[in-house]
Amino acid sequence: MFTVKNNFSVNEASTTLVVGLFEKTASFEGILGDVNSALGDSLATLVKEGDVSAKKGVVSKVHTLGKLEAKRIYFVGLGKENQFSFETARSSFGKLFKACKNAKLEEIEIVLDSFVTDKVDASDVAHALGEALPLATYKFADYKQKSNEPTKEISSVVVYTEQDKEEVDASLTVGYIYGKGTNSARTLVNTPANMLTATDLAHYAVELATKYELEYEILDKEEMENLGMGALLAVNKGSVEPPKMIVIKYQGKDEWTDVIGLVGKGITYDSGGYSIKPKDGLVGMKTDMGGAAAVLGAMEIIAELKPEQNVVMVIPSTDNMISGNAFKPDDVVTSMSGKTIEILNTDAEGRLALADAVTYAKHHGANYIVDVATLTGGVIIALGNHITGAMTNNEALFERVLEASNEVGEMIWRLPITDKFKERVRKSNVADLNNSPGRDGHAIFAGLFIGEFAEETPWVHLDIAGTATSSSEYDLGPSGATGVMSRTLATLVERFGEE
């Protein structure tokens, strides 16, 4: 996929040449000077006339008309150099790769150093490039009838740099791994619910664990009953599909200590149960296992990069359906922890599944827990579709998750925890907890409910109901699943492992 070369010559590129261009370049020197000379000193005219733009995010194509070996040059506008960042680089490469994909190009040659600044070094630019390629060109393999004509994909990227080839190549590889892991999460979320049951999700996890020689465990219904997982089993009661509790362990240290637990909601379809959703609310509920996809994507990245950190991944999986056997409002169920729960809303099912999963993560030795879930519509009302809601019982762990999210560009925003909110979750005449204290602040209530099962274990909750999908195409992907939090979780684990 990637080939790194030193000693760039403007006449060496033989296919499609890519050059970064900053605004207000006083004169064309170095790489740009060579390109300008090869084009008969016409670059300034092209910029002045608007045929080539240095504005951030603008990709301009110029045919060389035989003046260079390369048939065309793509100039990537990078904006002002002093405002250039890792995110700008990744977004710019995303736009580039989308343009190249639309043009059905298979080979690209990029002058990496034309994207490098004092603030963003060659390694960072290489990581951004490697990550952007799979993200921006991702396409879900849908179920439409296909022609027999083979599709053209970008299969070769030559990267020219004067920096250390091994370091640049390593950064390209790491970025690519991050992008591919995120795409794996996207594909899971995009898959229709009738093609991704809890059993299918478990099979996927087993294949992932087997590929990377990781320990795994899949609990079936009888085993869950023996362990007293009454919260998850309650959600499953209306379904004809058996539930699964999915566990993968990655051991990066000699001893099974200092373990990060990654817990992902795996509700493969959510009808709302007897608290049924309106008809428009039923559409798109195949995505309710976005948390499970995120932790599986993260585990793929972790298994590829092999950080020195221990991780246990836990996914509680079922669909939430309606039948004569389904659980209903006013029921009382007993969780694995022993805590009893009054059911006030069967559409508040994700927190029930996660309650037993968090308890089981602790059973497997998790010293820290991060849960990820498409949990509430309330978080969308509060934060919109581009920010993930977060809650925590531990400042230090939250800061680490926040740093990881900032590093990869997946924004999170913390929601408050107060004693008043806790009282609402604990208010029941017949049980220890209730699963739905009310519509006001319900994103907070949902997170607090999960926190009751984390107890004293450092815990961060991430509600991705708004960020798990995108309604429109963007620089780093198409509409549909985003794979959000896979990269944040993988980065969190990597940074833990570096200590």
Contacts of residue 64, defined as CB under 8 A and 6 or more positions apart, other chains included, come to 38, 39, 70, 71, 72, 73
Q: Which of 101, 186, 237, 351 is catalytic?
A: 351
Half-sphere exposure of 295 (CA within 13 A, CB side): 32
Token pair belonging to 395: 């400042």
CA distances from 354 to 286, 325, 481 (A): 18, 21, 21
The dihedral formed by the CA atoms of 268, 306, 170 and 496, expressed in degrees to the nearest 10: 90
Which DSSP symbol is given to 287?
G
DSSP 288-343: GGHHHHHHHHHHHHHHHH--S-EEEEEEEEEEE--STT---TT-EEE-TTS-EEE-
Pinpoint the alpha helices (H) of 5-77.
30-38, 43-48
- Which is catalytic among the residues 5, 71, 277, 422? 277
Q: Whose CA is closest to 464, among 353, 359, 384? A: 384
Residue 252: φ, ψ to 5°: -105, 0
Q: Give the residue ranges of the annotated binding site.
A: 265, 270, 288, 347, 349
Q: Where is 453: in which H helix or E strand? A: helix 442-454
> Is 351 an active-site residue?
yes
Pull the structure tokens for residue 313.
Answer: 């991944």
Helix (H) or strand (E) holding 58: none
Rounded Cα distance between 476 and 213, Å, is 31
Instruction: Pick out the residues of the known binding site for Mn(2+).
Output: 265, 270, 288, 347, 349
Q: Which two tokens stand for residue 76?
A: 């990537």
Give the burial string for 119-156 (b: 16+ CB within 10 Å, else e): ebebbbbbbbbbbbbbbbbbeeeeeeeeeeeeeeebee
- Sequence-separated contacts (24+) of 222-229 with Cβ below 8 Å: 224/356, 227/336, 227/360, 228/334, 228/335, 228/336, 228/338, 229/335, 229/336, 229/356, 229/360
| 72 in active site | no
Positions marked catalytic? 277, 351
